[in-house]
């Protein structure tokens, strides 16, 4: 039985790597893609995970598969396309380490995942099925993703959804909102950023925004709020959990590390238990996730920067919280 099975994109994040002797910018080749990142964090903590998606039969695709295997992620659902290239993303960082993306994805391998290529036996064998909206931007992957999510729901699996909004991948925001809301409606567990909460609900206040998202279907909503921490809400109430004061280098993958760690803490729970989980218990879960996300920002890249259980526990014991 897998703790988490994720479907979606895995790609190469080219992250800033300084400059050469001539002053020309260099980029480091890092494994990435939000669903893969979530699994990597979960697996690093001891979770049993599997990935469903598509890469090219090229050196980048081989590198991504090798990375997943090294992380302990089952790759029997990862297909190598004979004709299409692995998707690439170039990451730009501002002075605070916050990232933005430029994608090379037109006819990228991840977009071309088809419904008949989804290995449903992996879904049958999971507790949590996780997906995001990057795989909803275009067909055939959009149809494959929604069919897989609906299948997982019908099989009684917990559904985890992270919109992971990337504006450059959508023709217009209204299209993104429409498909992301379909994902929200399927979800038992939902993680959104402040930007995504506002986009989906029109609310800037996390308490009101989370309440509106819960009304769409999820029993547990978490809003990641950067250096402010994360807001949680279920039927028992909600609250803001502060994050940790760290020296941020690169925020790439921090939200995915947060969510992978949260899903690890919630393994084995039912949808009803999540909706009724006491606030004190949820605060500890979110605090653990905050530590994972914060520590990830201290290094460059996503998967290579994710912390161990021991590092997270040390953070919980010794690091100061961010001041409000």
**Residue 310: phi, psi to the nearest 5?**
-65, -40
Q: What is the model's pTM?
A: 0.95
224-269: per-residue pLDDT in tens? 998 899 999 999 999 999 999 999 988 889 999 999 999 999 999 9
Identify which of 51, 62, 38, 58 has the alpha carbon closest to the alpha carbon of residue 8: 51
Separation of CA 47 from chain center:
15
pLDDT band at 294 (very low <50, low <70, confident <90, very high): very high
Sheet holding 99-104, edge to edge: 25-32, 11-19, 88-93, 99-104
Residues contacting residue 313 through CB under 8 Å, at least 6 positions apart = none
Instruction: Read off the tokens for 224.
Output: 């990641």
CB 163 within 8 A of CB 180: yes
**pLDDT, position 229:** 95
| Residue 243 DSSP symbol | -
323: pLDDT strictly greater than 80: no
Buried b (16+ CB within 10 A) or exposed e, 3-27: bbbbbbbbbbbbbbeeeeeeeeeee
């Amino acid at each position: 039985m897998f703790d988490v099975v994720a479907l979606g994109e895995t790609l190469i994040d080219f992250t800033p790597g300084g400059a050469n002797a001539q002053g020309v910018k260099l980029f480091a080749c890092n494994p990435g893609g939000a669903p893969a990142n979530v699994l990597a964090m979960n697996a690093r903590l001891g979770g049993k995970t599997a990935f469903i998606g598509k890469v090219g039969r090229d050196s980048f695709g081989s590198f991504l598969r090798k990375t997943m295997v090294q992380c302990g992620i089952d790759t029997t659902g990862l297909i190598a396309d004979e004709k299409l290239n692995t998707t690439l993303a170039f990451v730009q960082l501002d002075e605070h380490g916050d990232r933005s993306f430029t994608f090379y994805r037109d006819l990228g391998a991840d977009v071309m995942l088809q419904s008949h290529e989804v290995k449903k036996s992996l879904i049958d064998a999971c507790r949590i099925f996780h997906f995001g909206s990057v795989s909803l931007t275009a067909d055939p992957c959009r149809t494959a993703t929604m069919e897989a999510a609906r299948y997982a729901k019908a099989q009684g699996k917990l559904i985890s959804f992270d919109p992971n909004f990337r504006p450059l991948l959508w023709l217009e925001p209204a299209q993104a909102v429409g498909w992301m809301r379909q994902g929200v409606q399927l979800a038992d567990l939902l993680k959104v950023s402040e930007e995504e909460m506002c986009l989906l609900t029109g609310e800037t206040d996390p308490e009101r925004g989370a309440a509106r998202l819960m009304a769409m279907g999820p029993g547990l909503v978490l809003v990641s709020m950067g250096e402010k921490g994360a807001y949680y809400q279920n039927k028992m109430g909600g609250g803001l959990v502060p994050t940790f004061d760290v020296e941020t280098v690169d925020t790439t993958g921090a939200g995915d590390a947060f969510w992978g760690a949260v899903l690890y803490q919630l393994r084995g729970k039912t949808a009803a238990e999540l909706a009724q989980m006491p606030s004190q218990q949820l605060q500890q879960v979110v605090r653990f996730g905050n530590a994972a996300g914060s520590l990830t920002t201290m290094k460059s890249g996503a998967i290579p920067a994710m912390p161990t259980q021991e590092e997270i526990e040390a953070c919980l014991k010794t690091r100061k919280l961010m001041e409000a």
